[in-house]
Amino acid sequence: MGRWEPNGRERLVLAALDLFAEQGYDSTTVAQIAERAGLTKTTFFRHFPDKREVLFVGQPVHSRLLVDAIADAPADATPMEAVAAALDAVTASFVPEQRAFGPRLLKVVAANRELRERSAFKRYGLAEAVAQALRLRGVEERTATVAAELGMLAFHDAFARWTEPPHERTFTELAREELERLWSAAAGLGEPRVTAAEPG
Q: Could you read off the pLDDT of 145-187 as tens digits, one per residue?
A: 999 999 999 999 999 999 987 768 999 999 999 999 999 998 8
The domain made up of 58-186 has a fold known as Tetracycline Repressor; domain 2 (1.10.357)
Q: Best-predicted range by mean pLDDT among 81-85, 109-113, 117-121?
A: 81-85
Q: Best-predicted range by mean pLDDT among 39-53, 77-91, 106-120?
A: 77-91
pTM of the prediction? 0.84
pLDDT computed for residue 179 by the predictor: 97
Answer whether residue 196 shows pLDDT above 90: no
pLDDT computed for residue 195 by the predictor: 56
pLDDT computed for residue 98 by the predictor: 85
Confidence grade of residue 95 (pLDDT, cut at 50, 70, 90)? confident
Domain ranges across the chain? 1-52, 58-186
Percent of the chain residues past pLDDT 90, beyond the cut: 74
Confidence grade of residue 58 (pLDDT, cut at 50, 70, 90)? confident
Confidence grade of residue 73 (pLDDT, cut at 50, 70, 90)? very high
Confidence grade of residue 4 (pLDDT, cut at 50, 70, 90)? very low
Q: How many C-alpha atoms does 185 have within 13 Å on its Cβ side?
A: 11
Confidence grade of residue 200 (pLDDT, cut at 50, 70, 90)? very low
CATH of 1-52, one of 3.40.605.10, 1.10.10.60, 3.30.565.10, 3.40.50.300: 1.10.10.60
- Quickly list DSSP for the chain: -------HHHHHHHHHHHHHHHH-STT--HHHHHHHHT--HHHHHHH-SSSGGGG-TTHHHHHHHHHHHHHHS-TT--HHHHHHHHHHHHHTT--HHHHHHHHHHHHHHHT-HHHHHHHHHHHHHHHHHHHHHHHHTT--HHHHHHHHHHHHHHHHHHHHHHTSSS----HHHHHHHHHHHHHHHHHGGGSPPP-PPPP-
- Mean pLDDT for the chain overall: 89
